[in-house]
Structure 1
């Protein structure tokens, strides 16, 4: 079969809350077995040293911590539904999310894809407890249980539309699930597959069964292939791997833990008992897996055995392995079993072994097998070509093949052949570009709440590698994975130490709020402002050209378009520090090239303008971005414009005055060779014309106390002195083709009103005043959220700020200083991301291809607990009528609080004049009751679907509660109700309308305003 890559994984096993801790436990040969936690059952009530009927012979087992914790708010699951969910579903939801993140995938990016979910599960004890508590069975209890729901729940919440199924083949369930997932990938039923298993021991039922069947170890520990082996010890756990066809993973540059070469499944058939293993079937499934993988038994370096630690099971497994491996010469097959560390995780046993093998191949070392020091001599391991791993096995360089077995109690056997991942060269060959000096990037993190963001910032800071290595790989991984949630954080960082310090200080020093933005309801609206002449300087944007290949590409493109008209390279002149940059003939095409390159690079980065505004010569690059001019036509126009102006005689100048045009009118009337060149603000007027005349005006204004400043220019731009060049420029302008603007372009010739940018317009543009302030006012009125200035240094954003735009409008510039490069670019992109812009992140790292790195997965909240504290009565005691639950779960499942004694439960709308909020409070109570939320957590802004997790079942219950409590609204129509369920406030407004109050959107808005203020 074609190879399948394991590209991501996550797990929780006894004594190991995550994959890192799991690997540490294995390498230390540690023990995850302990006393049965009080949360499950009182072990002493079922313990009998003699192993009497109905009793367990052990109080030990492998139990995971915090099995009752569930971050329901993250998955938008109401408390009431969370309390009803089988904890196995809750564990799988969180583990699946973390496994996808480990694979370098944002789970939200897979929404709507054909990703498959395959779950191995053997026990359903939560359902046994809750579905037999008949008076308290609800719709949530029904949908919260059942084998199918373990897989379906993941597919539902992650919106995955590939195959979704649960598998129960007893102890081999999760490895069979992996086998089915691989086949689905090979059949192209899905492109990604989540495969795993889960097991939670809610009751002592299986412990009692194992004891009665003579399978239970008195100390609760499996001792695989040991002389001390005396039975099974139960264990819990959950594990998920992310699978992909290897060729696809390599093409996308994904990291690979290990490769699945082949697998096979068979059945014992009729043997000496349905629970007894069958040697012949086991050796056949091994041989079938080897054939499918295309390997010989001698090629297998180590084997993760089923290894239950029962006398019969170990003996039969050794004989089956010996049938294929007894002929090995010189190097016996190394075997071990993770059950010695954890116990037998039943439905999750296979995935526990798979993750162990994958990590062993990844780290190039196989941990020693616990209890191997005293092997069972009756097994004759050496004679069968086998050896127990008494010490870690270091794997040699090159490809390494491993095997993994899992045998189900009912006779379903599965064997999987794995191989080490291909070399790093094969994984990173695709798409590698030339390097760049800049090793930084933008580290991003999103979360559904500020508290979740703080928690995850600290988790990421604590998991970063040590040292001062470049941060680009980590930043790029965060951009790919840590996206999609409501609250956004972004931090530019050059190296890992700077990143860690920034993450910690963001929380500890209160800087988080400065870098935190709640995703806006509406899409960000971006305005591009193109800087005009005067902003140029020697060597401008050299740092950006050095550090950002995307900018480099487009500046080269502009240079190629300008070169035939200039006769030399404007790029070389711009970057080389040539003082000719200040000459008009070069300044104007240079500014055009910089503006064009920045705007085009931002477009590829996903930062696209909704409105454009250029100051004087800046309009040419803006016109290309708008689609009015082609690059070729704009290059011809701008070079002709600059050259013709340069040819004009000297003697002209420009003067900036802090005065209005009206205050200058009398002076201008006396000087016909001077005119208004630019109106940059209410009291920011630029005059242009004859130098002597400007001098006389400057002296007069200075005598009045008016601030004036002479501008360093070569000519009197936008003045009557431009007249001699207009006819010749018009000839060039008439050769340019004019298109329709694809993006609104505000004109500084008309004062903001979009104009037809034909030849006549460009001729007028030369000498007409630049009515920037008027155009900027119109831009502000269009409601931009971001002002992105395009040019070598920031000039225009400060002018716009003087016009007092609304609070919250952000200003962004790629090169805020003359030395700006990659770090300043990263800071600008971080600001845009925090404001709701979703960059095309690969464009930021184009040409660098930093090595992929794995980040610490999402840190879920453990604040909310959902568990039945005493689900099983002790022997001789009556079972409780209703399981006791934690405080949160109790609030989630309880009915709304009863009304005070003597008051009516049904709200009387006719008395609403005396109690104007009666309807609103009734609706809030109904919503809280259906979802199981504390009433204080519900507000008029709460969105029933996105925030509170309502579904069709909950909507029907809400309908019934409202009808019962508010008879004045009459019978509600679901068809009318559903469109009103966006927010609680909209629902209240609709019900008020039905009850005879004001109607329409205004009523809803007023209801929200009134309730919020209350």
Structure 2
């Protein structure tokens, strides 16, 4: 590349960061690339569901209107996963299949860019669609008796772009472009300019073409442009006309500097584009060499490059004698001087046919993939070069074999010319080298995936398993990218992973686990309400959390932080004591600060990972870490206080202990009152009381209780905590507590001193002094915490202790108890399992904090796999999995059914549940008709908007149909109806209540 040319102008460039496509013989980008590299042929017979070829073609050509029955057709253009986009069957059947194809293609392209499509909601993302055919409208808008609101919105060029913007909630420019065959490259040109102008930050640019009628083929034949074998043969001596093709493609574009700043993967870079018009030539459909040459020069100028810098060009290349000749001469006007270094020339139309409105995007994706893979595929039909073109004279050559691109920047051109004279050209370049990053550690993570239903989750689990198993990539980046891209749907899957091969195997196993899929689908929606319970003394052990310290940098940092604050007060490193596995950890002077350090580090680790507590409770010394989490005081103050507490208790005389008693505290009161050196140390449950005090007194009580048949157990502790024996330490401790102070908790903290939540009450010196000798009212505080309806209890400590106590109380139905350090030697795996469990239940963790920087690198995962169960064509919807669905099944039959219908199984409804009587039957039947559902698919909990895809127009039609079915002559006021549209059950109840005030026709 000419350095002066490239550096003399400030060229702002556009990155192609994502793409998806579907072309004849190539259902996805990988298959498309394979087709190109093997010079494959995507052309075949006209599918039977398009038109009766016998009506328009005869082998002799005498009576036929077309000269071919061949073309490049995509398979199953009628398949559409309407449930994924919450589109009713009736609306899906009315939609132009080009809209349907673009919706799914756009979703997959955004995922391919490493972005969760739901994450673009509300953003200034533009949508630019090239399209030149609207044959669906020709078939449907001329049947006036069957025109509905859905048919209206299901047609029109604008809707191809507007559908994408609507369903992804994109707020940038949204428009369709028709410049005939150059439409989609012109759309890319407009998208790039919108990005450079700051109108949008992301842009989706694409094109689509589906041949539903033979009309354009007849035109090509009558104009002498149609190839008899339906195949374009670009620049070949066999070139004899155009062959029609179909396809859809979408690319995701960003300003290059933004893509690089975010570390996105880049297929290629668009350096510059240009668009012009032929003006007046020798016919409106005839090409103009000079205009083509000018658009090439304009694109080179805007890209800041010289013609000689371009290594290859994807030509328009229709395979017509005149078109090929003019295109070669236009290129030759700029490249003829390239002696010894001819520019490679080809056209994908030789593989696919002329995809018309999608031709430009087909070429763009080919060029982007070629630059990405650093190889240009051979051009089909290049072996029989047309000598009349004099390619060598014009500095051009056809590729008869793939061209390997050298290291360093490489430039490519792309042309697309419209039949009406609108020309477009783009200059692309290989992606810039990114900064060398450390290799991924693959240390582990949580693989996440979401889908709209159990079946959808199964499909996508298998797709991800195949991709991960095939590529064998480091598991850390795989998990990180899954967290970023694969969320947003109701059914959530999450799995801890430390090895890619094992992950692939477990994904396959999960896909076959019907019970698991059912449980995931049954999970209630909404974010978890999490209570953190901090464990107290007795949970310590030598080496506790040592493996987690080694495996989690996050935990390691917070434990080091706690140790640094404790060391001046303890006199040595609590962290080192913990990690060494020393039995000294059982000495109270070390136990209490060590447990505090572990509790603090675990709570801070979870906080950094997005596990935000709604409620807090600490058992005995666990209340210190809980207080720091609640903002009562800072780490330095808490460290000083807990270290003093442990040291002062250690200095107390020996001879005290604790006794666990299987009896209510009230039943023990009389015995305890008779022993002045014994008190109730803790109340952990209705039958779980701990007595604390003088050992001889405890022995007497144990004997008395044994005589009554009450079980007791001596606890292994050094002192009689929470007993009268703590009194000698209180004065000195009070002095230190007074210096430390303490404020009001900033989160709801359930005090085990008070047995309830603290309400604007400071946890000051007086509180902490009382805390030393007061009984631990764990059971009472927990019961009050349950009243606040937490969904999850996460125990914070070196091992689970409190979770068992919680389960023996009266927890709310469905309360889940979790712990981040399960097992004998808990490491990061316990933390990963905790995050996976919470994510399955609705939490969106702060995933970045889980991974080291080297694992946070972009990696493309397998795209979303849509359902192929539903087909929508001109005759209406047909469902492959269940056969034809009637417009309205008998209501009685639907109400008697016990399983969910095939279409709405994702919603988990009981069909017809709670919907009985004539009014309910009328509502069900009307909803089925308006939405195109079988009545058997509908239930009381079906939501009109979220589940059934209704909109305001459909609601108005629904109201009219219900009134008609009920024979009401007086219309229901719309304002009265609107508050009752949450579900079919609410709607049926409204009409039932309204019946008494309505006049019924005789």
TM-score normalized with structure 1 length = 0.92
CA distance in 1 between partners of 2:445 and 2:757 (Å): 39
CA separation of 1:702 and 1:969: change in aligned 2, threshold 3 A? farther
Q: Determine whether 1:585 maps to 2:589.
A: yes
CA separation of 1:31 and 1:855: change in aligned 2, threshold 3 A? same
In the TM superposition, 1:623-772 aligns within 5 A as 623-702=627-706, 705-754=709-758, 756=761, 757-772=763-778
Q: 1:517–1:835: 8 Å Cα contact kept in structure 2?
A: no
Q: Which residue of 2 aligns with 1:288?
A: 298
Q: Which residue of 2 aligns with 1:939?
A: 939
Q: Determine whether 1:779 maps to 2:782.
A: no
Q: Which residue of 1 aligns with 2:420?
A: 410
CA separation of 1:511 and 1:464: change in aligned 2, threshold 3 A? farther
Superposed CA deviations along residues 648-670 of structure 1, whole A, max 9, x for unmatched, are: 12222222222332443454344
CA distance in 1 between partners of 2:830 and 2:916 (Å): 55
CA separation of 1:893 and 1:693: change in aligned 2, threshold 3 A? closer
CA separation of 1:520 and 1:884: change in aligned 2, threshold 3 A? closer
CA separation of 1:128 and 1:972: change in aligned 2, threshold 3 A? same
Q: 1:337–1:369: 8 Å Cα contact kept in structure 2?
A: yes
Q: Which residue of 1 aligns with 2:145?
A: 135
In the TM superposition, 1:913-932 aligns within 5 A as 917-932=917-932
CA distance in 2 between partners of 1:885 and 1:587 (Å): 69
Q: Structure 2: where are the runs of 5+ without partners?
A: 1-10, 894-914
Superposed CA deviations along residues 737-772 of structure 1, whole A, max 9, x for unmatched, are: 433322110011112242622221111100111011
State the shift of 1:440 in Å: 1.4
In the TM superposition, 1:837-856 aligns within 5 A as 837-856=843-862
Q: Determine whether 1:42 maps to 2:52.
A: yes
3-state SS in 1 of match to 2:448: strand
Superposed CA deviations along residues 155-210 of structure 1, whole A, max 9, x for unmatched, are: 01111110000000110100110110011111111111100000000000000000
3-state SS in 1 of match to 2:756: coil
Superposed CA deviations along residues 761-794 of structure 1, whole A, max 9, x for unmatched, are: 1111001110111111222222111111111111
CA distance in 2 between partners of 1:220 and 1:42 (Å): 16
Q: Determine whether 1:817 maps to 2:823.
A: yes
3-state SS in 1 of match to 2:295: helix
Superposed CA deviations along residues 382-404 of structure 1, whole A, max 9, x for unmatched, are: 11111101001111112111111
CA separation of 1:898 and 1:215: change in aligned 2, threshold 3 A? farther
Stretch of structure 1 that moved more, 606-615 or 502-511: 502-511
CA distance in 2 between partners of 1:981 and 1:538 (Å): 60
Q: 2:528–2:838: 8 Å Cα contact kept in structure 1?
A: no
State the shift of 1:365 in Å: 1.1
Q: 1:540–1:818: 8 Å Cα contact kept in structure 2?
A: no
Q: Which residue of 1 aligns with 2:463?
A: 459
Q: 1:550–1:846: 8 Å Cα contact kept in structure 2?
A: no
3-state SS in 1 of match to 2:862: coil
CA separation of 1:511 and 1:971: change in aligned 2, threshold 3 A? closer
State the shift of 1:898 in Å: 12
Superposed CA deviations along residues 7-62 of structure 1, whole A, max 9, x for unmatched, are: 11100000011111111111111100000000101112211345457701000000
Q: 1:179–1:264: 8 Å Cα contact kept in structure 2?
A: yes
Q: 1:83–1:892: 8 Å Cα contact kept in structure 2?
A: no
Q: Structure 1: where are the runs of 5+ without partners?
A: 869-882, 901-914, 999-1014
Aligned match for 1:508, one of 509, 512, 515: 512
Q: Determine whether 1:534 maps to 2:544.
A: no
Aligned match for 1:187, one of 190, 193, 197: 197
3-state SS in 2 of match to 1:564: helix
State the shift of 1:260 in Å: 0.8
Q: Determine whether 1:13 maps to 2:19.
A: no
In the TM superposition, 1:442-457 aligns within 5 A as 442-457=446-461
State the shift of 1:465 in Å: 3.7
Q: 1:468–1:495: 8 Å Cα contact kept in structure 2?
A: no
CA separation of 1:34 and 1:991: change in aligned 2, threshold 3 A? same
In the TM superposition, 1:877-916 aligns within 5 A as 886=878
Q: Which residue of 1 aligns with 2:902?
A: none
Aligned match for 1:126, one of 101, 120, 136: 136
In the TM superposition, 1:529-608 aligns within 5 A as 529-608=533-612
Q: 2:525–2:842: 8 Å Cα contact kept in structure 1?
A: no
State the shift of 1:989 in Å: 1.6
Q: Determine whether 1:176 maps to 2:199.
A: no
CA distance in 2 between partners of 1:996 and 1:128 (Å): 47
Q: Determine whether 1:476 maps to 2:480.
A: yes
Q: Which residue of 1 aligns with 2:907?
A: none
Cα RMSD, aligned residues only = 2.3
Q: Which residue of 2 aligns with 1:808?
A: 814
Instruction: Number of aligned residue pairs: give it.
Output: 964
Aligned match for 2:407, one of 397, 411, 415: 397
Q: Which residue of 1 aligns with 2:321?
A: 311
Q: 1:11–1:237: 8 Å Cα contact kept in structure 2?
A: yes
Superposed CA deviations along residues 616-655 of structure 1, whole A, max 9, x for unmatched, are: 0011111111122222222222112112112212222222
Q: 1:470–1:494: 8 Å Cα contact kept in structure 2?
A: no
Q: 1:627–1:742: 8 Å Cα contact kept in structure 2?
A: yes
CA separation of 1:885 and 1:795: change in aligned 2, threshold 3 A? closer
CA distance in 2 between partners of 1:142 and 1:629 (Å): 64
CA distance in 2 between partners of 1:707 and 1:887 (Å): 66
Q: Which residue of 2 aligns with 1:960?
A: 960
Q: Which residue of 1 aligns with 2:990?
A: 990
Q: Which residue of 2 aligns with 1:358?
A: 368
3-state SS in 2 of match to 1:194: strand
3-state SS in 2 of match to 1:370: coil
3-state SS in 2 of match to 1:516: helix
CA separation of 1:474 and 1:885: change in aligned 2, threshold 3 A? closer
3-state SS in 2 of match to 1:117: strand
3-state SS in 1 of match to 2:204: strand
3-state SS in 1 of match to 2:124: coil
